[in-house]
Amino acid sequence: MNALVASAKKEGTLNVIALPPTWANYGAIISAFTAKYDIKVNSANPTGTSQDEVNAVKQENGTAAAPDVLDIGMAVALANTNLFAPYEVSTWSDIPTAQKAANGVWVQDYGGYMAVGYSSKFGTITSLNQLLGPQFKNAVALNGNPTAANAALNGVMMTNLAEGGTPDNIAKGVNFFAKLKAAGNFSPISATGATIKAGTTPVVLNWDYLNLGSYVGVTNWKVFVPSGVALGGYYAQAINKNAPHPAAARLWEEFLYSQAASGGQNLWLEGGARPVEQPTMTTNGTINKTAAAKLPAVTGTPVFLTPTQATDAANYLAANWAKAVG
C-alpha cells in the first residue's frame, strides 16, 4: 500500500470522467482524495453518460488526457471488459461475489433503488396509480430517454413491476406510461435540478440517491419507493488498462472501497447512495449509522436486472417507447 501511495504521488494526477459533483457525493469524494494524497484530479465531462466514458477511453487512448478510472452502468461495463485492467482492492473479500467480476475487471461500487421523488405540494403519495390523477398534469418525468439512459429505463421497469409485470417483460411499464400520456400527465423533458427548482418537473422517477432533496437542491421534496417494488441498480468501477496514471488509478480504487469514516464507502453513503460493502460494514460497525438511517425505506425482495433482462427491455423500448408516448 505504501509503495502504491508513493508511486501514485509521483504521478501526481488522476483523470476521472462523467462524475457530477452532486452525484453520490462525488464533489466531496474528489476533494477528500486530493486532500489526503495531494494528487490533482482532472474531472472531464461531468454530465456525460457511461457510453461517453467508454468512447473517451477509445478516442483518447494513449494520450495523457485519457480517463484513468471509470464509473459506469453494468450494461456498458459488461460490453467493454476488454478495455479494463483487472484489480482487486484490499477490501475485495467484503464485496458480495455477485457484485464483482471474478477476475476483477469490474467491481460494483454503489447503487440504490428506483424511487419517486415529488414536490410536497402534492401531499403524500403512496402508490403509482395516484400519478394518473388530474392534479399531476404535465408533472411526471423520467431522467432521460429510456432507450438511451439507464436510469430512465429502470424508471419504466419500476412502473412495470408495480403494475404486476415481471423483469423479463417491460410491456406493462410502457403501457403505464401510455396511460400517463393519455391523462396528459407525462412530462417529456428530462428532469434536472434546474427543472425541479423551476417547478416544471414536480414528480421525477429516478434512483433514490439522485432523488433526494439535497441532491436536486429543493427543500420541499419527498421520496417514496413503491410498496413491494425494490428495483435496485449498481454502478461499477473499472480501470482503463492503458491508464496514463496507473498507480493513481489503483490508489483511487483503494480510497473508494475504504471503510474508514472518511473513506469512499461512507462518503457515498453520506451522498444517499448505498455502498457495495454496506452489509459487511453494518456487521463490523464501520458504517456511518446516521447516514444509513436517512436512506428511504424499501420493502420487498430486491430485484436486479440480469444483462439479458436489461437487453430485452432496451429492445422492447426501442420498438415501442416512441409509439406509446409520442
Q: In angstroms, rounded to a whole number, what is the distance separating the alpha carbons of residues 247 and 91?
A: 17
- Is residue 325 a contact point for other proteins (CB under 8 A)? yes
> Which of 15, 25, 50, 278 touches other proteins (CB under 8 A)?
50
Element (H, E) at 317: helix 307-325
- φ/ψ region of 146 (left if φ > 0, alpha if ψ in -120 to 50, else beta) reads alpha
Closer by beta carbon to other proteins, 130 or else 200? 200
- Residue 67 cell numbers, joined: 480517463
197 within 8 A of 260, measured Cβ to Cβ:
no
- State which of residues 62, 134, 285, 326 lies at the interface with other proteins (CB under 8 A): 326
Choice between 101 and 325, CB closer to other proteins: 325
Q: Binding of other proteins at residue 119 (CB under 8 A)?
A: no
CB-nearer residue toward other proteins: 135 or 282: 135
Query: 56 or 276, CB closer to other proteins?
Result: 56
Q: Which of residues 256-295 bind other proteins (CB under 8 A)?
A: none
Residue 179 sits at the vertex; the CA angle it makes with 177 and 184, to the nearest 5 degrees, is: 95
Which residue has 444509513 as its cell numbers?
Answer: 292
d(CA 238, CA 241): 9
For Cα atoms 185, 190, 191, give the angle at the middle one, nearest 5 degrees.
80
In sequence order, the 6+-apart residues with CB closer than 8 A to the CB of 187 are 138, 139, 140, 141, 200, 201
In whole angstroms, how close is the CB of 265 to other proteins at the nearest point? 24
Positions 78 through 117 that interact with other proteins (CB under 8 A): 79
Q: Does 313 bind other proteins (CB under 8 A)?
A: yes
Q: What angle do CA 191, 196, 201 make, to 5 degrees?
A: 60
Nearer to other proteins, 76 or 243 (CB): 76
133 binds other proteins (CB under 8 A): no
- Residue 230: how many other CB atoms lie within 10 Å: 18
On the CB side of 321, CA atoms within 13 Å amount to: 20
Taking the complex as a whole, the smallest distance from the CB of residue 30 to other proteins amounts, in Å, to: 22
Give, as ranges, the residues between 184 and 203 that touch other proteins (CB under 8 A): 187-190, 194-195, 198-200
CA–CA distances in Å: residue 123 to residues 135, 187, 188, 218, 220: 11, 20, 23, 16, 10
Query: How many amino acids of this chain bind other proteins (CB under 8 A)?
Result: 45
Choose, by CB under 8 A, the member of 7, 22, 52, 81 that binds other proteins. Answer: 52
Of 55 and 242, which has the nearer Cβ to other proteins? 55
7 in contact with other proteins (CB under 8 A):
no
- For other proteins, the closer of residues 130 and 195 by Cβ is 195
Footprint on this chain of other proteins (rule: CB under 8 A): 49-52, 55, 72-73, 75-76, 79, 137-139, 141-142, 144-150, 152-153, 187-190, 194-195, 198-200, 310-311, 313-315, 317-319, 321-322, 325-326
